[in-house]
Amino acid sequence: MAELRWNPLLKDWTIVASHRQNRPQMPKDWCPFCPGSGNVPDNYDVHKYDNDFPALSPNPSAPDMVGSDFYKTTESYGKCEVILYSPEHRTTLPQLPVEHIRKLVDLWCERFEELSKDEKIKYIFEFENRGEEVGVTMPHPHGQIYGYSQMPLKIKTELNSCREHYEEHKECLICRMNKEEKDFEKRIIIENEDFLAYIPFFTDFPYGVFIVSKNHRSKMTDFTEREKDNFAKILKDMTGTFDALFDKLFPYMMCIHQAPVNSPEYGNYDDYYHFHVEFYPPLRSSEKIKYYASSEMGAWAACNPTAVEDTAEDLKAAYKKYLNNK
């Protein structure tokens, strides 16, 4: 069964995808994403693979007859794709050359443009889960893309905040964040011609870095060729810095936030929304997890156990170590 169920308390949809419980546990001596598996080309650099157990589908089944006029259900329309970063089973994102990561950026752009042609898709979300600490069981380097037919609540909240700020102050909210971080300087970890990587003033994860375009761009497909190259470079440098922090594979959730598509109700979002990447790393030290516990989950009362000005210093030192080891 796969369907969307309406949550009247939050005015949001919950994806119900009970069929995903039947996903097989992959044997240790076989990987569906490796060349020779029969599932992917024998030769590829990066590759789009349709998810075998999608939470959203372009051909969804009818919702179960368990709803009512109050508890609404609707079909789980959308798209779920797997994006393979490399044919090498154990290679990770920071181990790839910048030129190879640029191919990944181009594939993200290609999929964004293709998925946006479906007028029922409202939001395209690229992300990567990395490490056993966030539930990853498939080590082959990959991320995913979800194409949602309903705007996710967090994105809706960001859009509304950015729109309100733009209408009141005649400036982009995230451009203003960039200015605040540049003026303060101490939370900036990496900077290149076109991007900043910093731990924002407010983040709820000790090492919750944002990567933000310096120029106002609402989506990746708006990048110049140079910006695409520099985005690939800062992705490599930032994830490599994470690994250098504790000298081990650093777990994270990487979430790419871009402007919506096919959503005229959000007005001129290209003017007020700004491309950025949000990292949610679960570690607060080499061996300790920063859990999202009752207050965070039950009340959405975020609590960071560290001052980000201190953890920024940790990451800046890790960046120097990463550069020395390149």
Alpha helix segments (H runs only) across 79-137: 98-115
CATH number, domain with residue 230? 3.30.428.10
Q: What is the DSSP letter of 289?
A: B
Is the pLDDT at 23 greater than 70? The verdict is no
**Rounded to 5 degrees, what angle do the CA atoms 257, 262, 263 make?**
75
309: its two tokens: 């000005």
Cβ(141)–Cβ(91) under 8 Å? Answer: yes
Q: Is the dihedral of CA 79, 92, 41, 117 positive or negative?
A: positive
pLDDT for 42: 95
Q: Which domain holds residue 106?
A: 2-325
pLDDT digits (tens, 9 = 90+) for 220-263: 999 999 999 999 999 999 999 999 999 999 999 999 999 999 99
For residue 173, what pLDDT band results from cuts at 50, 70 and 90? very high
Distance of alpha carbon 3 from alpha carbon 61, whole angstroms: 8
Coil vs helix vs strand at 14:
strand
For residue 45, what pLDDT band results from cuts at 50, 70 and 90? very high
Distance of CA 252 to the CA centre of its chain: 10
DSSP 243-267: HHHTTSPPPEEEEEE---SS-GGG-
For residue 22, what pLDDT band results from cuts at 50, 70 and 90? low
Is the pLDDT at 117 greater than 70? The verdict is yes
Which whole number is the average pLDDT over 42-51? Answer: 96
Residues involved in catalysis: 142
Distance of alpha carbon 62 from alpha carbon 3, whole angstroms: 8
Is the pLDDT at 25 greater than 80? The verdict is no
Q: How many CA atoms lie within 13 A of 67 on its CB side?
A: 17
pLDDT for 13: 96
pLDDT for 186: 98
- How many domains would you assign to the chain? 1
